[in-house]
Structure 1
Amino acid sequence: MVAAGPGRSGWRQRWADRQNEQRRRAFEAAFGAWQRDGDEARRMLTAAQTFAGLPADAVPPYVDLGRAEVAFLVLPGAAIVELPDQPALPAPGYTGFSAYPQPAGPPFAGPRIDAGTAVVTNRRVVLYGNRRREWLYAKLVGFAHLPDNRTTLMRVSNRVRASGLCVEPATAASFRFNLSLALAESTNDRAGFVAHLEQQISEHQRYRPQPPPVAMEQQAPMTARLGPGVLVAAAVTAILLLCGIAVALAPPSPQTSDTPQADSTTTTGRVSSALPTSTPAAPPTSPPPVTAPTTPPRQPPRLCRPARPQPSRPEAHPFLPYAQGCQPVRAPSNPYGYNYCSRGSRITDPKPDICSYFDCIDNFWNGKGYMIECDDGMVSMSGGRQGSCSYHGGNNRTVYDG
């Protein structure tokens, strides 16, 4: 091969060196990301095989764990989302969990109705916010991780609407892993979840980045001889030439009027106008006064609407299951003014369609007391009677007809 020299093959070699450096950097970045994803998946596999729950001192005192119930995750900064409709969700389980990052889809558009600390156990998911909301695995009939990489929807048999939790992107992988592991543990299928992760790790090996081919100087295109600076200068020059030609060929603008305009420098106190008149008017004996316009000049249209002010949300206490004070937003929206804020009187004869707005227990209409909310968020008509809400975690608060 002839030695590289100025004007012969030196520019080809420089092109090959630049190409090989760019390819090396791209390969190292891709391989590093692939390796980090694999390390994280293997860490999840180890946790799925050995993790037995959080120690007792890592669980906040307000979390009321039952007998043989173990907490897997305590996650602040979670929010409850709720769907106004009733979509069909896949069957609950761990099959929808991926140990590897997925491209983020469109954000979830549903409303957020509460926020606080989420606790994942081997029996349920609980959110401690302005009020407590829980999803029991035994009543779970639908389950889905949404493609926004933040939201998980859960449908339970004791509520009308599907709801779920939205977490921060940095904690979404941990939340989804612990929830999938807890679901597997609740059905004694931890071995199946381990096999699910092992299959994903094996599949990940197929996508190991391969080293790029080496660029040879014989592959250098002729444009590489000019260098990037010369090409940019040539492109700018071409654009300027095209703009000059377009201006030169543009037709002259048509005259809007044949009447010559008066020179404002020779007429004192006169306002010149370029608008033609059909009948020439006699010159006035005295110049008309010049007045300021009565209407302000129109502003150019805005391309974006100003952001609407968002209502402030009550801040939940980090160590208490319920925030202090009453917030009207706690009660579901309804046309009858039913609320939790002691406005009005107790409800002994609810409206016939009230279960379309509140989550009623199965034997709601068999109750012989007044309307109350149970600890799981459902409402009952057994207020003031012994054993009310006994299958729903106990009594929470009274509903009023304000």
Structure 2
Amino acid sequence: MVSRAWVPGTGWRRRWARAENRRRLRAYQAAMAQWCRRDADLRRLRAAAEADPAPAGADSGAGTGTGDGARGLPIRLDPDEAVLAVAPAVRLVSVRARHAPGTPGPVRLPVPRADGVLTGRPPYGLRTIDGGLAVLTDRRVLLAGRIGEREWPYRDLAGLGHHPSAPLTLLYKRGRRTVSGLLLPPAAAGRFRYALDLAYVAANGRRPALLARLDGMIEEHAAARPERPATASAAAAPRWALVPDGALAVGGSLAVTALAVAAVLLHPSGPDGDRLAVPVLRPSAPAPVVPQPEIPAPTGSSAPPEPTSGTGVPVRPAVEPLARVRSTPAPASPPASTRPPTPAAPSTPAGPGSAGPATPTPTGTPAPLCGAPANPYGYTYCPGGTYVTSPDPGVCTYFGCVDDFWTAAGYLVLCEDGAISLAGGTSTACAAHGGVRQPVYAAAPPAVG
């Protein structure tokens, strides 16, 4: 009979290697599927931005406009005006305070996104003016409301302001101090915004700039393609893999149970948390002594007489019942030194010209930047993150800040000349730098696989 020789890497090491390779493969496949979906969305968006805006389908009741309206829509369109999207039950709102927190600022070059269903809460300070049917054409945005018909031609708009989580889109008109917008239904907001961004960019002649930006996003996304993980070998198995997972769970349960039993035995307590005292044998209070006649002890007996009470009944020691003694913690010992600790000096926020704190070192997988400079704070030009209202003091080390960067109170925006400003949401944002191009977002932390 031939005996099989023992080879290092067999048994538990092999089992660990197979399980580890399966785990790595599942994580790689999940990351690759997410990467492929994003790549397909960018290329689809690139093709849609390159083509002319397509009219909406027949299911939305849209088509080429006529003088009497397009297929029953309650609006009057130009003869060659095309309807791109229709959204019912839209509320026309007005912003009471232009610089209210959470109000999206104007963006001259929006990147279209299919956000899907937006269920976030709109910012405070909105006032409803009217409501009705919103119609999007290749030339303007119209609202057929209960009060009347309103329109916003693309050539008169200074920018669009999309809220990142709520179905709110603000339409910034040139020369108007008040800002109005549309509060769309959550299910229709994504498709309406997508068509609006494409039509606005095409109508203002900024399609080449949008295509160049999309090409940069596609190249950056291609560079972030997940790499296939290395194969784990049996020789790399750690020692803890020698114990099966079931044995570890049983051992941990037994250890916890043993600790709980030991704690109960060492520290008995009642149902309300009070410790039970040990029964103590103590004699009862002595009764008053009454003189009794002396009775001689029987001859040959050396036992002492029992103590008696005044009635002649022998007195026996009483047993006190179980008494609850509430445990009182011992007073803490005084510190070795009575000198109070020296308070730390208050930190002051770094402003322009100050050194600021040490720059943190980026860790983990870097988030997509979409053309933003590499930085350890996760600030990116990719839409989908959150607005940055309190940037890190060292942000100007990685970005080119405007001169009055720290005097503004808004959120981070990118100017047309490449500088960044903290005056997002205000009328003075990037006033001396060509206007606002888009907001700067804080990317969400990557999910741990």
- TM-score, with normalisation over the residues of structure 2? 0.48
Of stretches 105-114 and 229-238 in structure 1, the one that deviates more from structure 2 is: 105-114
Question: Counterpart of 2:72?
Answer: 61
Residues 99, 200 of structure 1: 8 Å contact kept: no
Which runs of 5 or more residues in structure 1 are unaligned?
Answer: 256-402
Greater Cα shift, 161-170 or 209-218: 161-170
Give how far 1:180 is off: 1.6
In structure 1, what is the Cα distance between the partners aligned to 2:190 and 2:6? 55
Deviation at 1:118, TM superposition (A): 3.3
CA distance in 2, matches of 1:66, 1:81: 26
1:163–1:210 distance in 2 versus 1, CA, 3 Å: farther
Native 8 Å contact 1:37 1:100 kept in 2? no
Residues 154 and 163 of structure 1 are in contact (CA less than 8 Å); yes or no, is this contact kept in structure 2? yes
Q: Distance in 2 between matches of 1:221 and 1:77?
A: 61
* Structure 1 residue 13 displacement after superposition: 0.9
Mapped pair 1:22 → 2:23:
yes
Letter in 1 for 2:182: L
Aligned counterpart, 2:11: 10
Aligned to 2:86: 74
User: Could you tell me how far 1:52 is from its partner in structure 2?
Assistant: 3.8
Which of 176, 182, 207 is the matching residue for 2:199?
182
SS in structure 2 at match of 1:12? helix
Q: Does 1:210 align with 2:210?
A: no
The answer on whether the counterparts of 1:105 and 1:147 sit within 8 Å (CA) in structure 2 is no
1:89 and 1:142 in contact (8 A); partners too: no
Q: How does 1:254-265 map to 2 (within 5 A)?
A: none
- What is the CA-CA distance between 1:93 and the residue it aligns to? 2.0
Give the greater-gyration-radius structure (CA).
2
Q: Residue 375 of structure 1 corresponds to which residue in structure 2?
A: none
- Return the offset for 1:208: 0.8
Match of 1:330 in 2: none
Does the Cα contact within 8 Å between 1:12 and 1:225 map onto a contact in 2?
yes
CA drift of 1:176 comes to 3.0
| Residue in 2 that maps onto 1:47 | 48
Q: How many residues align?
A: 252
**Contact 1:97/1:176, CA 8 A, preserved across alignment:** no
Quick check: which one's helix share is greater?
Answer: 1
1:243 aligns with 2:260: yes
Q: Given residue 250 of structure 1, which amino acid in structure 2 is its aligned partner?
A: H
CA contact (8 A) 2:16 2:241 kept: yes
2:120 aligned with 1:109, yes or no?
Answer: no
Aligned amino acid, residue 121 of structure 1: T
- The separation in 2 between residues aligned to 1:242 and 1:16, in whole angstroms, is 35
Alignment of 1:23-38 (within 5 A): 23-38=24-39
> How far apart are the structure 2 equivalents of 1:9 and 1:193?
58
**Which residue matches 1:267?**
none
Distance in 1 between residues matched to 2:241 and 2:186, nearest whole Å: 44
Judged with a 3 Å threshold, the aligned counterparts in structure 2 of structure 1 residues 180 and 64 are, in CA distance, closer, same or farther, namely same
Secondary structure of 1:152's match? strand
**Helix, strand or coil at the partner of 1:147:** coil
Report the CA distance between 1:125 and its aligned residue: 2.1
Residue 211 (structure 1) shift: 0.8
**3-state SS, counterpart of residue 66 of structure 1:** coil
Structure 1 SS opposite 2:84: strand
| Inter-CA distance 227–199: structure 2 relative to 1 (3 Å threshold) | same
| CA drift at 1:4 | 9.3
Aligned 1:106-185 pairs, distance under 5 A: 107-110=121-124, 113=128, 117-128=133-144, 130=146, 132-148=149-165, 150-157=167-174, 161-167=178-184, 171-185=188-202
Residues 123 and 98 of structure 1, relative CA distance in 2, 3 Å threshold:
closer
SS at match of 1:141: strand
- Give the distance between the partners of 2:152 and 2:213, measured in 1 at CA: 24
Tell me the CA shift for residue 219 of structure 1: 1.6
Instruction: Indicate the residue corresponding to 2:310 in structure 1.
Output: none
Structure 2 Cα separation of the partners of residues 32 and 248 of structure 1: 56
Give the C-alpha shift of residue 5 in structure 1.
Answer: 6.6
Q: Matched residue of 1:44: which SS?
A: helix
Give the superposition deviation at 1:187. Answer: 1.3
Alpha-carbon separation, structure 2, partners of 1:28 and 1:121: 41
Q: Distance in 2 between matches of 1:79 and 1:35?
A: 37
| Contact 2:119–2:186 (CA under 8 A) maintained in structure 1 | no
Change (3 A) 1:50 1:26: same
Which of the residues 98, 108, 122 maps onto 1:93? 108
Partner SS for 1:125: strand
TM-score by length of 1: 0.53
State how far apart, in whole Å, the 1-side matches of 2:6 and 2:115 are: 49
Question: Matches of 2:57 and 2:76 in 1, distance apart?
Answer: 12
Q: Which amino acid aligns with 1:31?
A: M
User: Displacement, 1:35?
Assistant: 0.9
Letter in 2 for 1:125: V
**Quick check: 1:78–1:166 contact (8 Å CA) kept in 2?**
yes
Once the two structures are TM-superposed, the CA of residue 235 in structure 1 deviates from its matched residue by 2.1
* Cα drift, residue 217 of structure 1: 1.2
Q: RMSD of aligned C-alpha atoms? A: 3.8
Share of identical aligned residues, percent?
A: 31
Q: Could you say if the C-alpha distance between residues 208 and 32 of structure 1 is closer, same or farther in structure 2, counting changes exceeding 3 Å?
A: same
The gaps in structure 2 that reach 5 residues or longer are 63-70, 277-449
Contact 2:9 2:234 in 1 (8 A): no
